[in-house]
Structure 1
């Protein structure tokens, strides 16, 4: 009998998040599932890790089955590190992160705790996928995600991924019947036009609240933003090597050693 793949499940919205519970439900149909997730929301933590305070991990039971679940006091990247080095006992065959409550398309991938967990797994040489639904509602309907999550994970397990590459998958906030399919895409050039709303607390001390709007600067029809706007699931291969390889030749023409 073929051995079931070991699947590490994590997220950044916390171990009780409905998106995580949906991801667990789908993964249980594919393999042996172990969950290591933050004990509280860790959205927009990026690739932060805990180095100046203690980390705690507690085995918990959220559902009614005998699933192995661990709640971690740290960041999403911490969760993956602890899972691989301390908890699992063997390397997982795949790490899946999410399903995030909200988009992680375009520039959002830089700030995303969901994707940082997947990238941390990739750094360890583990195939990994981060999943996000473009709906920030805690009670979002994740039903439309299930088929696409299952298909992508099964394909990654069958084909693996190139070394240093993980997948960033975003699912449009549409009824299942209105999603047209999947598009392999590139990350759109977009950013946030941010402002800080200055306020005063009851003691009269100034504080700031970050606000802003998302601006897509990319008119290409091969981007994740185009795919989502046109009813497709976007699948973007992401690498953690941040070297701007195309710039190396130009820098070598500088007089850096004179």
Structure 2
């Protein structure tokens, strides 16, 4: 590229989360950065968009002497990407990066993830996109070991591009830098949450429910994101947002119509 790439940065943990602050600092070593991120945590929002309420998007300065622009959005991660592309960025971004999420978005978590939905929305709009997640839910998570891999994968996508309709889901193990073994290209593990609702009663006598659950991985394959992460590798899964079950179309056409 003859000019610096324009990089759109977003997340689902909110614009002040340590993960996105780390991501911004890495991206500023690569290109020109514009941040449009939620003004409050939006984890688990999936691909929700705001259609029955007003949206606000305001410029903010969170770092002294910042050389990039930042905006807080009152909506969801997908809203942030839509609004950024329609109203904020001066031209189509060369890449959109989302994260670094506080917690895993491997396996089935990808469909619930606001982090990945922001990346998917960028992909829908024709922008190469990556969602980054660290397997540490703590607000005090150490993102330092992630920087090397975030930068490397971002530069590779900028250099090589991504096929239309595909974005990358990158998960990073919670390990010291010296213990991360490298990068594995993977498939999404076939795993699920076995969930339950804990029924409780508030002081006013009204019943309410608290979602609980256990993550169960029944996939024993050694080519999955869960396997790679358990072995100390960064997992990279190419994700497509065409949900058509192409292999079932012929059989479905054979049903009596």
Sort the TM-score into its range (normalised by shorter chain): over 0.9
Kindly provide the CA deviation profile for residues 132-159 of structure 1, in whole angstroms up to 9, marking residues without a partner as x. Answer: 0000001100001000000000000000
CA distance in 1, matches of 2:75, 2:67: 24
Q: Per the alignment, in what secondary structure is the counterpart of residue 144 of structure 2?
A: coil
CA distance in 1, matches of 2:67, 2:253: 58
Kindly provide the CA deviation profile for residues 153-185 of structure 1, in whole angstroms up to 9, marking residues without a partner as x. Answer: 000000000000000000000111000000000
Q: Residue 183 of structure 2 corresponds to which residue in structure 1?
A: 182
Q: TM-score, normalised by structure 2?
A: 0.99
Kindly provide the CA deviation profile for residues 201-240 of structure 1, in whole angstroms up to 9, marking residues without a partner as x. Answer: 1111000000000000100000000000000000000000
Asked if 1:51 corresponds to 2:51, the answer is yes
CA distance in 1, matches of 2:245, 2:70: 39
Q: Residue 37 of structure 1 corresponds to which residue in structure 2?
A: 37
Q: Residue 249 of structure 1 corresponds to which residue in structure 2?
A: 250
Asked if 1:88 corresponds to 2:96, the answer is no
Matches within 5 A, 1:187-198: 187-198=188-199
CA distance in 1, matches of 2:106, 2:197: 23
Q: Per the alignment, in what secondary structure is the counterpart of residue 225 of structure 1?
A: helix
RMSD of the TM alignment (CA)?
Answer: 0.7
What's the offset of the Cα at 1:66?
3.5
Matches within 5 A, 1:94-243: 94-243=95-244
Q: Per the alignment, in what secondary structure is the counterpart of residue 78 of structure 2?
A: helix
CA distance in 1, matches of 2:163, 2:126: 10
After TM superposition, what 4+ stretches of structure 1 lie above 4 angstroms from structure 2?
none
Q: Per the alignment, in what secondary structure is the counterpart of residue 214 of structure 1?
A: strand
Q: Residue 78 of structure 2 corresponds to which residue in structure 1?
A: 77
CA distance in 2, matches of 1:28, 1:148: 15
Q: Residue 4 of structure 2 corresponds to which residue in structure 1?
A: 4
CA distance in 1, matches of 2:103, 2:153: 19
Kindly provide the CA deviation profile for residues 53-92 of structure 1, in whole angstroms up to 9, marking residues without a partner as x. Answer: 0000000011111320000000000000000011002100
CA distance in 1, matches of 2:203, 2:55: 34
Q: TM-score, normalised by structure 1?
A: 0.98
CA distance in 1, matches of 2:144, 2:183: 16
CA distance in 2, matches of 1:160, 1:17: 28
Matches within 5 A, 1:52-67: 52-64=52-64, 65-67=66-68
